[in-house]
Amino acid sequence: MDRIALEVNKFYERYPYPSLPVRTERDLVRKLHANVMGKILATAGLVPSSLSGKEILDAGCGTGEKACYFSYYGARVTAIDLCRASLQKAKELAEKFSLKVDFGCCDIAEFKPGKKFDHVFCLGALHHTEKPYENFTALADLCKPGGTITIGLYNRYGRLSHRAARMWISLRSGSDIEKRMSYVERSIYRRKLRSIHEKAYVADKYVNPHESYHTVGEVLGWFGKNDFRFIGSHPHTRTGVKAFFSQLRWMARGNGFFIMSGRRSFSKALKYP
Ligand SMILES: C[S@@+](CC[C@H](N)C(=O)[O-])C[C@H]1O[C@@H](n2cnc3c(N)ncnc32)[C@H](O)[C@@H]1O
């Protein structure tokens, strides 16, 4: 594990993310779909019924809600994360709903499963690693020809005002996780944070020790270099010069996080059987 992975891991062991309050099957399926999964799947041209029997990798799965959702719809799910506390919660969630997920504690950079996946998801993890592009290529390599990869990253423009807030928090409270948390609670929220989920959300947003910022053009470049064709995003973006204007809109709306999906071409498989 590199220095950044160590620091980030220490942080998530303290605040496993997202720690959603999933009490009922309805929370896991309908609520999660309405809040996030519907949008995520749509970027890759997927719907819940298309997941059945598919090999899915959820890299940086956190507390496992998305991995359990995939499994609920009949996918064969492998989910990895560096954080043992998150994985413990994820396993408990899967057990609660009798879902089968193959969980593993592993660094994305070192993951060698010995098989390929129809759909690879990595949401909110690459920007907490030292080498986001290298980790992307490792995941891209695990995608079957014709399969999809979906990544969620912080946007360089959309997260601008947020970056300013993070810098201010660092100036006022330094780098200690707990000092930063109590500063955010006191000065930004001005009340006690209410639930484990709210604490996890606030910590991830303001206190995370490392994050990087990316653009649509950069991700299109990653896709191109690895033989992936862009298929969809959330929020919607156009490509080329117009992507810049899409991102300016995200900045105005405060959309700091964007999701992009690409499909792996068959050509490599044909050239190198
Ligand atoms: C913001 S959380 C996202 C969790 C989940 N994907 C979601 O969308 O709710 C980021 C997760 O990535 C994991 N992570 C960060 N760096 C990692 C690495 N190098 N290898 C594996 N997991 C990593 C963290 O432990 C954390 O659980």
- Tell whether ligand 1 has an atom less than 6 A from the beta carbon of residue 17: yes
What does the pLDDT read at residue 267? 72
CA 193 to CA 183: how far, in whole Å?
12
DSSP 8-state secondary structure symbol assigned to residue 209: S
Ligand 1 pocket, 79 CB below 6 A? no
pLDDT score at 268: 55
* DSSP secondary structure, 76-107, as one string: EEEEEES-HHHHHHHHHHHHHTT--EEEEE--
Any atom of ligand 1 within 6 Å of the Cβ of 129: yes
Which residues in the chain come in under a pLDDT of 70? 268-273
pLDDT digits (tens, 9 = 90+) for 158-182: 999 999 999 999 999 998 999 999 9
Q: How many Å apart are CA 71 and CA 65, to the nearest integer? A: 10
Query: Ligand 1 within 6 A of 5 CB?
Result: yes
Contact between residue 200 and residue 17 where contact means Cβ atoms under 8 Å apart: yes
Could you identify the atom of ligand 1 that is nearest to the CA of residue 83? 25
Domains of the chain and CATH, by start: 3-157+212-266 (3.40.50.150), 160-207 (no CATH)
What pLDDT was estimated at residue 169?
Answer: 94
Closest ligand 1 atom to the C-alpha of 204?
1
Mutate to test the pocket of ligand 1, among 1, 4, 12 (most ligand atoms within 8 A of CB): 12
What radius of gyration do the chain's Cα atoms show? Answer: 18
